[in-house]
């Protein structure tokens, strides 16, 4: 075997071509940035772009203008070697290897121990000719082998309710309540970024079922079976019927695509409802997996009468496929690492670090649809303060623009006569102000005159890809809102709404090529605009959509205009967990649902049950926020019992702020993740990995939200390898088994991992109220533990100049020794001398308490 070292020389090897699906290996060259393989059709580039990531690109005849939206942080090419045999090419770095099979033209990816982690599937790499509006392009497709016991996560935020994505079909587009992020994480220890900016399909289902529209008159409605029994199809809906034949028993995936957003997803197979969702807004496409026997099967589909459904199926197998119909090349990145944190860290190294959000962003956000005046906002905050209900942010939803026209970022003086004054009043009440802004402002408004020529042609949406549009848009937000004291941006409908780039031409070209990326550029415009205007105020953006790399712009996402029932609530949990595995750490929902039972919500005990379970879960989401359509969402609107229970939970959230803010510091400094699906910390425990409704909140707290009505006890799986303390009772449980947790009396099941160290603060009414008071350190025995307490100035960018402090805290179980290490760093206002109330939770549930004074130097405490 001859060995070729990577250097500035280029070597060329030519072998007899081997035929394979038009991808015959011809030759290869070793270049400074990787291995370039000449195929009979184009070139396959294998580029080590990071010590733990490799980019694969297959290019043919079409040239693409270099526009890199995601991998913006170019890293030094890691050292690599290449070698060759008669059948293989091998590229080796310190952390991984890539094999190219000359006979099959497939790639394999190996870890640093030489174990194969991922294989391309045979004959699955494809670039087929296509066009979009007469512009040539390709249908890019790549398949990967998937082991039978593999779990797949990520792809963003979807409303289909699926946790494990293996063998599931998905249509990756941006619409209200759905965020398409083409990043996949595997329980086998790899990540894939499908590096395309347009519509993509995950596991595309290609077998079509012909659907026949049923005709009926007003006097004869059709009946169908649903999960709630037999229902009649309304005149606003249409029933379709069809049949299909299967050659064998097995598991099959069905993709129902209605074309546009809908309010009804109903798929019935052989009289059994397979998909059944209703809401005022639902994404256009939804899928489900079902086991079926060989033979002929009957289907029924119900959707809005204005939509035309298509129904496809595919048999489940052990190949995972990505397909993009509007591509200029095939392009993907494979990440290999020790665990999910390692892979996400590499991904952020390449696509952008997560900036610190201000400390107040981790307090409570009060939102409703909507506050109607400046006095309404101020009086609401005063009532929160009067009732001792902690709050940090109050949010102004839409229509504050009044006479100025739809979406115009300007206060109508009739209801908001002095913006600077009322925002100052809010600030004087120690509350921050967030406001809803849109990118489809009324073209006839005076503000829109500056946008002339900057809208997408034949569209209400501004062309945010144009750098000039970005500047004009920020200037409008600054002059009309930010200069008055606005603290945070609620960027609504940033998909843009209803997949609006399709069939449009943008600054970059055909919208089909950039269909998923609009929210990235909206966030960029606001982040860069605000930082240039006021470099001392942290940018905080709540936005409805996202694209890979957006985490670098100070964004939080929420799950859109969802419903309020138990099924919807459950679907938000798995949506948030999969979203977190795409490298986006900050996420939230409309607690209680956006669309609610409007009139009955204030007194209906059944609604209060789900509202409080949702509120309990909200305490343990990265961002804690209430919202509701045509609703008064303030706690006291639901009666004294609900208000008291919400107060207890608000107090718990605020006591946890030192822990949560330290986790945020770790996100920024070490690329970690706060909301952690079980695969992140317990990848060796399959029973843990498959839990869809529980997760770790930071390294210490296992959260198991209750997702059924009228529950007193809740089953929780405790991962093996640890002891677990019930948060509420301190009772200790062994891991590796299910336990029944008390879920009564406003309790969400919470378990603390042995060895955990959790800093707690006092009860506060806002995040900065008692920042100088003593902290409590809860130490849970049973294992060694470590935690870093992070603090900074709270709302500026001085942390980027290393103006922050870190206090390392460790617990030695064998020695029963707590060590508070030397404080590292300093910042203006840092506490030089402070008290720590130490609480050691023993294996018998007993608590030993001691108070210590800490002045920045190491101290140890023997228990």
pLDDT at 12: 33
492 as an active site residue: the answer is: yes
Residue 773, pLDDT > 90, answer no
pLDDT at 22: 60
- Among all chains, which residue has been given the structure tokens 């991962």? 719
Those residues whose C-beta lies under 8 Å from the C-beta of residue 671, and which sit 6 or more positions away, are 341, 344, 345, 348, 349, 353, 354
pLDDT in tens, 707-725: 999 999 999 999 999 999 9
Which class for 364: exposed (0-12), middle (13-18), buried (19 or more C-beta within 10 A)? buried
Averaged pLDDT for residues 494-518:
97
Question: 35-54 burial, b for 16+ CB within 10 Å, e for fewer?
Answer: bbbbbebbbbbbbbbbbbbb
DSSP label at residue 861: E
The H or E element spanning position 260 is: none
Those residues whose C-beta lies under 8 Å from the C-beta of residue 267, and which sit 6 or more positions away, are 254, 256, 273, 274, 275, 276, 288, 299, 300, 301, 311
Averaged pLDDT for residues 399-417:
98
pLDDT in tens, 193-249: 999 999 999 999 999 999 999 876 454 567 887 787 887 877 789 999 999 999 999
Residue 8, pLDDT > 70, answer no
pLDDT at 780: 98
pLDDT at 772: 80
Residue 62, pLDDT > 60, answer yes
pLDDT at 2: 38
The mean-pLDDT minimum among 52-66, 455-469, 677-691 falls in: 52-66
Percent pLDDT > 70 in the chain is: 97
pLDDT at 230: 82
Averaged pLDDT for residues 72-82:
97
Selected catalytic residue, list 463, 561, 685, 792: 561
Tell me if 139 sits within 8 A of 128, measured CB to CB: yes
Tell which residue, 545, 578, 570, 549, has the closest CA to residue 559. Answer: 545
pLDDT in tens, 663-683: 999 999 999 999 999 999 999
Residue 17, pLDDT > 80, answer no
pLDDT at 216: 60
Residue 11, pLDDT > 90, answer no
The mean-pLDDT minimum among 26-30, 61-65, 481-485, 859-863 falls in: 61-65
666 as an active site residue: the answer is: no
* Confidence tier at 264 by pLDDT (50, 70, 90): very high
The mean-pLDDT minimum among 81-90, 739-748, 768-777, 798-807 falls in: 768-777
495 as an active site residue: the answer is: yes
Question: Across the chain, what does the average pLDDT equal?
Answer: 95
Residue 845 or 33, more confident? 33
* Confidence tier at 732 by pLDDT (50, 70, 90): very high
Tell me if 352 sits within 8 A of 73, measured CB to CB: yes
* Confidence tier at 4 by pLDDT (50, 70, 90): very low
Selected catalytic residue, list 120, 439, 487, 492: 492
* CA distance linking residue 233 with residue 221, whole number of Å: 6
Averaged pLDDT for residues 125-129:
97
Residue 15, pLDDT > 70, answer no
* CA distance linking residue 203 with residue 696, whole number of Å: 29
pLDDT at 597: 95
Residue 9, pLDDT > 80, answer no
Residue 435, pLDDT > 80, answer yes
pLDDT at 427: 98
pLDDT in tens, 282-338: 999 999 999 999 999 999 999 999 999 999 999 999 999 999 999 999 999 999 999
pLDDT at 233: 78
Tell me if 849 sits within 8 A of 838, measured CB to CB: yes
pLDDT in tens, 147-185: 999 999 999 999 999 999 999 999 999 999 999 999 999
Coil/strand/helix, residue 849? strand
pLDDT at 220: 58
Residue 431, pLDDT > 60, answer yes
Selected catalytic residue, list 495, 565, 634, 645: 495
Residue 404, pLDDT > 70, answer yes
pLDDT at 66: 81
* Confidence tier at 13 by pLDDT (50, 70, 90): very low
């Amino acid at each position: 075997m001859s060995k070729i070292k990577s250097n500035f020389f280029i070597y060329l090897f030519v072998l007899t071509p081997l035929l394979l699906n038009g991808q015959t290996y011809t030759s290869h060259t070793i270049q400074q940035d990787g291995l370039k393989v000449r195929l009979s059709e184009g070139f396959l580039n294998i580029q080590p772009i990071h010590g733990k990531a490799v980019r694969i690109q297959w290019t043919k005849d079409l040239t693409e203008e270099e526009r890199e939206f995601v991998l913006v942080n170019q890293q030094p090419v890691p050292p690599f070697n290449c070698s060759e045999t008669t059948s293989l090419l091998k590229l080796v770095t310190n952390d991984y290897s890539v094999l190219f099979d000359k006979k099959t033209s497939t790639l394999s990816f190996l870890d640093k121990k030489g174990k194969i982690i991922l294989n391309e599937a045979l004959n699955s790499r494809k670039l087929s000719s296509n066009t979009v509006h007469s512009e040539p392009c390709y249908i890019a497709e790549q398949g990967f082998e998937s082991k039978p016991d593999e779990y797949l996560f990520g792809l963003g935020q979807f409303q289909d309710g699926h946790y494990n994505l293996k063998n599931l079909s998905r249509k990756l587009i941006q619409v209200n309540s759905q965020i398409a992020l083409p990043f996949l994480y595997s329980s086998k220890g790899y990540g894939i970024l499908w590096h395309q900016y347009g519509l993509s399909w995950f596991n595309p289902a290609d077998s079509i079922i012909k659907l026949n529209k049923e005709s009926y008159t007003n006097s004869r409605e059709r009946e169908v079976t649903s999960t709630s029994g037999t229902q009649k199809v309304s005149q606003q809906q249409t029933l379709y019927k069809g049949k299909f034949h299967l050659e064998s028993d097995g598991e099959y995936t069905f993709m129902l695509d209605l074309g546009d957003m809908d309010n009804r997803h109903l798929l019935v197979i052989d009289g059994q409802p397979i998909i059944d969702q209703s809401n005022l807004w639902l994404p256009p496409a939804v899928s489900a997996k079902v086991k079926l026997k060989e033979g002929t099967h009957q289907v029924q589909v119900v959707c809005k009468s204005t939509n035309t459904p298509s129904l496809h199926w595919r048999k489940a197998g052990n190949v995972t496929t990505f397909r993009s119909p509007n591509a200029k090349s095939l392009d993907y990145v494979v990440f290999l690492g020790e665990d999910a944190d390692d892979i996400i860290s590499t991904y952020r190294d390449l696509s952008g670090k997560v900036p610190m959000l201000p400390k107040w962003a981790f307090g409570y956000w009060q939102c409703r649809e909507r506050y109607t005046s400046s006095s309404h906002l101020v009086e609401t905050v005063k009532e929160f303060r009067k009732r001792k209900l902690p709050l940090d942010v109050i949010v102004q939803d839409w229509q504050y623009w009044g006479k100025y026209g739809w979406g115009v970022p300007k206060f109508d003086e009739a209801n908001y006569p002095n913006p600077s004054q009322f925002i100052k009043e809010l600030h004087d009440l120690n509350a921050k102000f967030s406001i809803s802004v849109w990118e489809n402002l009324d073209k006839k408004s005076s503000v829109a005159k500056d946008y002339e020529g900057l809208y997408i042609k034949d569209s209400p949406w501004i062309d945010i890809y144009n750098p000039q549009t970005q500047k004009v848009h920020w200037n409008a937000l600054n002059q009309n809102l930010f200069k008055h004291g606005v603290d945070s941006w609620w960027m609504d409908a940033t998909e843009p709404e209803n997949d609006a780039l399709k069939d449009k031409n943008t600054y970059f070209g055909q919208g089909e090529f950039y269909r998923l990326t609009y929210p990235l550029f909206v966030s960029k415009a606001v982040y860069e605009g605000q930082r240039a205007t006021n470099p001392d105020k942290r940018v905080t953006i709540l936005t409805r959509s996202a694209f890979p790399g957006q985490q670098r712009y100070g964004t939080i996402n929420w799950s859109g205009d969802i419903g309020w029932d138990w099924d919807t609530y459950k679907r938000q949990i798995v949506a948030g967990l999969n979203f977190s595995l795409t490298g986006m750490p900050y996420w939230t929902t409309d607690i209680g649902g956006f669309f609610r039972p409007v009139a009955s919500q204030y007194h209906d005990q059944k609604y209060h049950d789900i509202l409080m379970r949702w509120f309990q879960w909200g305490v343990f989401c990265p961002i804690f926020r209430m919202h509701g359509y045509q609703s008064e969402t303030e706690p006291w609107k639901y009666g004294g019992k609900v208000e008291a229970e919400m107060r207890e939970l608000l107090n718990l959230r605020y006591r946890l702020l030192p822990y949560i803010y330290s986790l945020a510091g770790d996100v920024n400094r070490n690329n970690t993740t706060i909301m952690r699906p079980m695969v992140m910390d317990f990848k060796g425990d399959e029973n843990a990995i498959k839990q869809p409704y529980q997760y770790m909140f930071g390294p210490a707290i296992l959260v198991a939200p209750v997702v059924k009505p009228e529950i007193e006890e809740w089953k929780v799986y405790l991962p093996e390898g640890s002891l677990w303390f019930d948060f509420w009772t301190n009772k200790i449980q062994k891991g590796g088994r299910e336990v029944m947790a008390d879920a009564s009396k406003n309790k969400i099941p919470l378990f603390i991992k042995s060895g955990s160290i959790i800093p707690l603060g006092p009860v506060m009414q806002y995040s900065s109220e008692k920042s100088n008071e003593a902290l409590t350190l809860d130490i849970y025995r049973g294992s060694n533990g470590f935690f870093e307490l992070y603090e900074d100035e709270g709302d500026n960018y001085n942390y980027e100049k290393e103006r922050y402090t870190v206090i390392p805290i460790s617990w030695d179980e064998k020695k029963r020794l707590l060590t508070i290490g030397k404080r590292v760093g300093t910042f203006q206002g840092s506490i030089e001398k402070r008290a720590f109330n130490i609480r050691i939770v023993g294996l018998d549930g007993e608590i030993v308490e001691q108070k210590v004074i800490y002045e920045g130097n190491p101290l140890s405490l023997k228990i």
